[in-house]
């Protein structure tokens, strides 16, 4: 009960900060929406080559994962600002659990991601997406797990670097192979064999495949299973790293 209360106190403060300056939420939402509006129509003539029947049923899950990955990766930048202002030092002198300091921030990031996901799915339906309610719920859940993993890793990286100038190029270096090898925009099956084999070692690709499979209703397939496994593994590893970093900072 104490852990939940500590986490909620951190979450409440983080939420108030976001509500005072919602620009980052809007900016984070604009990129996938623009992709959906501008890139989605280009897929419609090619959708048969992807083994799908609806361009937006294929594309919206990829945009969901893009939100979960790229939006959450920038969560740590606000933490650097808090560290610079002495907020982190003030929190560390309290008896609050170090995990609660991290999880409270994750609540904020996951709530933001959930709101963005609802808007994106609604827009997908407006453009002609076809998907079941159960598949959407499962796909969003996988996206939240992945987004939580990326947000926790971003916070850990922020406390490790303590510099936007260092953190930004590291994130950009990670984002490029993730975007290309995870199949967010285009399926890896249309690429050369060596590129598809390389993408097999990209865990996020399996999450993308799992979210897409859930949207088309294949809830019991291997794609959903492996997507769920990798989302849970990445989430657990990121929580461990984030908590360890907060504890290390306390030493």
Q: Is the pLDDT of residue 249 over 60?
A: no
The answer to whether 220 and 227 are in contact (CB under 8 A) is no
pLDDT digits (tens, 9 = 90+) for 4-35: 887 888 788 877 877 776 666 677 667 777 87
Q: Is the pLDDT of residue 121 over 80?
A: yes
- Predicted confidence band of residue 146 (pLDDT cuts 50, 70, 90): very high
pLDDT digits (tens, 9 = 90+) for 35-88: 778 777 776 666 665 656 777 888 888 888 988 888 788 888 888 888 887 777
Please say whether the dihedral angle defined by the alpha carbons of residues 170, 208, 75 and 160, taken in this order, is positive or negative: negative
- Predicted confidence band of residue 227 (pLDDT cuts 50, 70, 90): very high
Residue 22 confidence (pLDDT): 67
Beta strands in 131-229 (DSSP E): none
Which residues form the domain of 47? Answer: 2-250
Q: Is the pLDDT of residue 115 over 60?
A: yes
How far is 188 from 191, CA to CA, in rounded Å? Answer: 5
How far is 79 from 176, CA to CA, in rounded Å? Answer: 23
Give the chain's domain count. 1
Could you give the C-alpha distances from 250 to 95, 113, 127, 128, in angstroms and in order? 11, 29, 49, 51
- Predicted confidence band of residue 2 (pLDDT cuts 50, 70, 90): confident
Q: What is the H or E stretch that residue 188 is in?
A: none
Extract the tokens encoding 243.
């908590």
Could you give the C-alpha distances from 98 to 76, 105, 242, 246, in angstroms and in order? 16, 11, 9, 6
Q: Is the pLDDT of residue 193 over 60?
A: yes
Q: What is the H or E stretch that residue 219 is in?
A: none
Residue 137 confidence (pLDDT): 94
Q: Is the pLDDT of residue 251 over 60?
A: no
Span 211-229, average pLDDT? 89
Q: What is the H or E stretch that residue 217 is in?
A: none
The answer to whether 238 and 150 are in contact (CB under 8 A) is yes
Span 187-195, average pLDDT? 77
pTM of the model: 0.86
Neighbouring C-alpha atoms within 13 Å toward the C-beta of 17? 16
- With pLDDT > 70 as the criterion, what percentage of the chain qualifies? 90
- Predicted confidence band of residue 232 (pLDDT cuts 50, 70, 90): very high
Helix/strand/coil percentages in the chain, nearest 5: 85, 0, 15
Provide φ and ψ at 206, rounded to 5°: -70, -35
Residue 229 confidence (pLDDT): 95
Crossing angle (nearest 10°) for helices 133-161 and 76-85: 40
- Most confident among 59-73, 157-171, 225-239 (mean pLDDT): 225-239
Span 151-156, average pLDDT? 90
Span 220-246, average pLDDT? 91
**Cβ contacts of 134 within 8 Å, gap of 6 or more:** 217, 219
**Cβ contacts of 152 within 8 Å, gap of 6 or more:** 102, 106, 235, 238, 239, 241, 242
């Amino acid at each position: 009960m104490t852990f939940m209360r500590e986490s909620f106190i951190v979450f409440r403060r983080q939420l108030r900060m976001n509500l005072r300056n919602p620009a980052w939420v809007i900016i984070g939402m604009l990129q996938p929406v623009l992709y959906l509006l501008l890139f989605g129509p280009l897929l419609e003539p090619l959708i048969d080559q992807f083994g799908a029947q609806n361009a937006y049923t294929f594309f919206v899950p990829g945009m969901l994962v893009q939100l979960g990955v790229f939006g959450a990766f920038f969560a740590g930048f606000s933490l650097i600002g808090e560290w610079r202002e002495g907020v982190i030092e003030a929190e560390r002198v309290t008896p609050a659990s170090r995990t609660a300091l991290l999880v409270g921030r994750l609540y904020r990031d996951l709530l933001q991601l959930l709101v963005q996901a609802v808007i994106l799915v609604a827009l997908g339906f407006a453009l002609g997406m076809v998907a079941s309610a159960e598949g959407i719920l499962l796909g969003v859940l996988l996206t939240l797990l992945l987004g939580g993993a990326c947000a926790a890793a971003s916070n850990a990286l922020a406390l490790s670097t303590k510099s936007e100038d260092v953190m930004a190029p590291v994130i950009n270096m990670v984002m490029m192979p993730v975007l290309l090898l995870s199949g967010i925009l285009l399926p890896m099956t249309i690429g050369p064999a060596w590129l598809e084999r390389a993408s097999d070692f990209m865990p996020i690709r399996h999450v993308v495949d799992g979210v897409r499979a859930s949207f088309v209703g294949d809830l019991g397939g291997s794609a959903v299973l492996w997507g769920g496994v990798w989302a849970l593994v990445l989430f657990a590893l990121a929580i461990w790293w984030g908590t360890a970093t907060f504890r290390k900072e306390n030493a």
